[in-house]
Amino acid sequence: MLKCGYYFLRHFCPTTSIGFSLFLIAFLSGCGFFPLTESLENERRETEATKEAIRKSPSLQEVNRVCESLPKTDSFRLILMRKSFRADEEYIVYGYYTENGYETVRDLFFDFFNREGWTDVYEQPGINTISVRGQKDGFSAGFTHEPVHRGVNYTLICRRLESAK
């Protein structure tokens, strides 16, 4: 009996555990329990759809010009883009990752906003975030710093104000 148990553990269990592991990985991947690959693909599709919407819409092109004019250091890596999904709103969101600390980016934005004549410039702390915003020529723009989520730690948003429509 002991010999049979030893044989079972030595020969059957390693094969079964490898087979079970492969089965488990395939099953969990199919069920979406490994969201990283799915999430990255979704981010890519959303970003491409946003870029296409900008190419087709002169109004979104204006909003995008504001976003592109915002200061960014060379270390900002674009992770995602989103556009407004409601017809009565026009905004574009850029998600970036950078090693730059909050104070560095905050100072960059405050200098830019002051130099370029933006008004209503303010800093707003949240529970896990902190934002800097300003307004100019019918647009609101700024950034939010947050803990890294989906590879993003800075979100830049540009919005056409209701009064400018």
Q: pLDDT tens-digit profile of 138-150? A: 999 999 999 887 7
158, β-bridge pairs: 92, 141
Domain ranges across the chain: 1-33, 34-164
| pTM attached to this predicted model | 0.72
Report the alpha-carbon distance of residue 110 to residue 19 in Å, rounded. 57
By C-alpha distance, which of 96, 109, 106 is closest to 155?
96
**28-78, pLDDT tens digit by residue?**
444 444 445 567 788 889 999 999 999 999 999 999 999 999 999 999 999
Token digits of residue 22: 């492969």
CA 116 to centroid of chain Cα atoms: 27
